[in-house]
Amino acid sequence: MENKNSIKKKLIKIFGADSVSDKQHDLYLHSYDATENEAHLPDFICLVENSKQLVQVIKLANEQKIPLVPYITGNNIGGLTIPVKGGIILDFSKKMNKVIHVDEDQMYAILEPGVTFGQLDAYLKKHHPNLRYCYPFAPPYSGVVGNAILSGMNNLSATHGSMGDWINGLEVVLHDGSIVKIGSCFTKEEENWDKWYSRYPMPDLMGLFVNWQGMTGLVTKCAVQLWLRKKIQTFIIAMTYGGDATAELIREFGRLELIDDLSAVSLEVAKMSLGFPTPKKFDFEPDYAILIPISAHSQKHFKIKMELLNEALKIINNRVKRKIILTDFNYLSAILGEGVRCFADLPNVVIPLVEYSGLTWIGSYAPINKLKPLMEEGEKIFKKYQVPAFIYMKSMKGSHYAIWRPIIRFKKHAEEKKVHEICKELLEMGLHYGIIPYKTPIWITEYLKEKIIDPNWVKFFTDVKKFMDPNNIFNPGRWGI
C-alpha cells in the first residue's frame, strides 16, 4: 500500500477536496456505533456523490488493497459499519441521497443509498400521498436502502414480511468496476425508470447482495415496493399475561392477514417510554404490550376486520390461563401518556432505544412455535443480570416466522464486558430454540460458523465471497473473512 498522503491525493482527485477527510475527529465519529463491538478507526472518510466515483475508488482499493466500508447513518445495532480493518468509509448519506423516481402506477420508488425513512415518508406524503413505504422500529434518520438490503422488519411485516422481500431491483458496482442492474431493470436501456417493476422471473441475483453486509459490491440504486396508503390507519393494543397467551396471540393474529403488523414488547419497555428508565415490573401487571397497526379502505372494512379479530380473540381467550385485553391504542395512549406514542407514530425516535449511550441486541429470525420458551428463558436471563427485560417480538409474513429480539441498553465504556456476557447467554439460549441472528456482528457470525453452520455452507459462502470480491476490499472482516 502506498503511503497515506499519496492515497489521500488520489481520493481527492476522485471525490474532491471537500469530500475527503482524514481528520481525527471525523475518523473517530466513524469508528464506533452504539453496540459493545470494539471500535476501530478508518483511514479516510469520503462523501460519495455518484457511481462513477465508486468505479474509480474500487479500482484504487483493488490496487492498494484498501478496505471499503459503506456507511449511511451508522445507527445499525450490529457493528456493521465499524471499519475493523481500517480503510475508507464511503459515506452515502450526504450527497447520494435522492429519491430518483416514484412510479405511482406500479407502486415502487427508486432510491439512492442515502435516503432516510423520514425523508421518504415526507417525500411520499408531499408528492404521492396515496402511497406509503414502511417504517422500522428505528429513528427517522435511518437509511432505507441499508435496511432493505439487510432484510429489516417494519410496521407492515405481519402481512408483507421483511423489507428484503420487497426489493424490485438493484444497481450495484462490482469488484471490477462494472455497474450491473439486477431485476426487471436488467435491460440495455439507460435510466428507464419504468423497468424497475419486478425482481423475478430471471435468476435471482439479488441474493448475492441482500444480507451480505456490503461484502460483495456497492449498491447505488434500490427499487423498493410501495403500498397503498389506506384511508384508515389506526392502532389497537393487546396486553397479555404469560408466555402462552403472548405467543398464541402473536401467532394467531399474525396468520389472519387482517393486521399490518404486530410488535410485542415487555411491559417494562412501555414504562421506559413513560419516564421510567429502569422500571420495576410487578407480578400483578401484564407481561407484554402488543401494538397492532391496522389499516382499512373504509370504516366498513375496518369494522369487519375488528369483528374477525375479536372472534379470534374469544377463541384464544378460552384457551389461555388469563384473558388477553384488546383495546384502542389511541385512547390507551391518551390515558398512559404521550411517551408510548413513540412506538406508533413512525418513523420516530423510540425513546427507550436512545436513553443510554450504548445499545445492543440479539436480533433474530425465530421459529414462531418457539416464542414461548424464547421469551420465558430470555426473561430469566435479564433477571439474572438484574437488567430490565426488553424483549421485542413480531409475527412475520402471515406468521410463517417470527422476530425475537432481546435488547440491552447500557453505559458505553463501562458495561461492555457484562453486556457481552448477557448477549452470549441470550444467543446460546436462542440458538437452542432455533433462532437465526440477523444484522450480525462479527463475534456472532464467528460463533455460528464454529458451532452451528454446516461447513459445506461456510465453504460455499466463502467461495462466493472470493468470486465476488477477490481482493477482499468490500467490508472485510465481516463474517470473519
Please say which residue, 274 or 464, places its beta carbon nearer to other proteins.
274
> What residues numbered 279-298 form the site for other proteins, per CB under 8 A?
279-280, 282, 284-286
> Taking the complex as a whole, how short is the minimal distance between the CB of residue 305 and other proteins, in angstroms?
16
Cα gap 25→21, rounded to integer Å: 10
In this chain, which of 8, 59, 229, 341 binds other proteins, going by CB under 8 A?
A: 341
Give least dist CB 405 to other proteins, A. 22
Q: How far is the CB of 255 from other proteins (least distance, A)?
A: 24
Q: How far is the CB of 264 from other proteins (least distance, A)?
A: 15
3-state secondary structure the chain: CCCHHHHHHHHHHHHCHHHEECCHHHHHHCCCCCCCCCCCCCCEEEECCCHHHHHHHHHHHHHHCCCEEEECCCCCCCCCCCCCCCCEEEECCCCCCCEEEEECCCCEEEECCCCEHHHHHHHHHHHCCCEECCCCCCCCCCEHHHHHHCCCCCCCHHHHCCHHHHEEEEEEECCCCCEEEEECCCCCCCCCHHHCCCCCCCCCHHHHCCCCCCCCCEEEEEEEECEECCCEEEEEEEEECHHHHHHHHHHHHHHCCCCCCCEEEEHHHHHHCCCCCCCCCCCCCCCEEEEEEEEECCHHHHHHHHHHHHHHHHHHHHHCCCCCEEEEHHHHHHHHCHHHHHHCCCCCCCHHHHCCCEEEECCEEECHHHHHHHHHHHHHHHHHCCCCCCEEEEEECCCCEEEEEEEEEECCCCCHHHHHHHHHHHHHHHHHCCCEECCCCHHHHHHHHHHCCCHHHHHHHHHHHHHHCCCCCECCCHHHC
Residue 280 or 321 having the CB closest to other proteins? 280
Q: Is residue 311 within the footprint of other proteins (CB under 8 A)? A: no
Q: Which residue among 105, 187, 321, 335 contacts other proteins (CB under 8 A)?
A: 335
Would you count residue 334 as binding other proteins (CB under 8 A)?
yes
Contact mark string toward other proteins, 215..244, x via CB under 8 A: -------------------x----x-----
Which of 52, 104, 304, 337 is in the footprint of other proteins by CB under 8 A? Answer: 337
191-199, 250-258, 274-282, 456-464 -> range binding other proteins (CB under 8 A): 274-282
Q: If binding is defined by CB under 8 A, does position 355 make contact with other proteins?
A: no
Binding other proteins by CB under 8 A: which of 12, 325, 354, 458? 325
161 contacts other proteins (rule: CB under 8 A): no
Nearer to other proteins, 341 or 412 (CB): 341
Residue selected from 192, 298, 330, 357 as contacting other proteins according to rule CB under 8 A: 330
Q: Which is nearer to other proteins, 335 or 417 (CB)?
A: 335
Q: Is 276 one of the binding residues for other proteins (CB under 8 A)?
A: yes
The reply to whether 321 sits near other proteins by the rule CB under 8 A is: no
Nearer to other proteins among residue 328 and residue 446 (C-beta): 328
Check binding of 17 to other proteins (CB under 8 A).
Answer: no
Applying CB under 8 A, the site for other proteins has a residue count of: 27
Longest dimension (CA), the chain: 73
Q: Which CB, 124 or 267, lies closer to other proteins?
A: 267
Q: Is 328 in the site for other proteins (CB under 8 A)?
A: yes
Asked if residue 299 binds other proteins (CB under 8 A), the reply is no
Note the Cα 201 to chain centre separation in Å. Answer: 26
Instruction: Assess 312 for contact with other proteins (CB under 8 A).
Output: no
Cβ–Cβ under 8 Å, residues 196 and 107: no
Question: Which CB, 288 or 392, lies closer to other proteins?
Answer: 288
Find, among 11, 2, 6, 81, the residue nearest to 44 by Cα: 11
- Nearest-approach distance from CB 331 to other proteins, in angstroms: 4
Residue ranges that bind other proteins, judged by CB under 8 A: 234, 239, 267, 270-271, 274, 276, 279-280, 282, 284-286, 323, 325-328, 330-337, 341
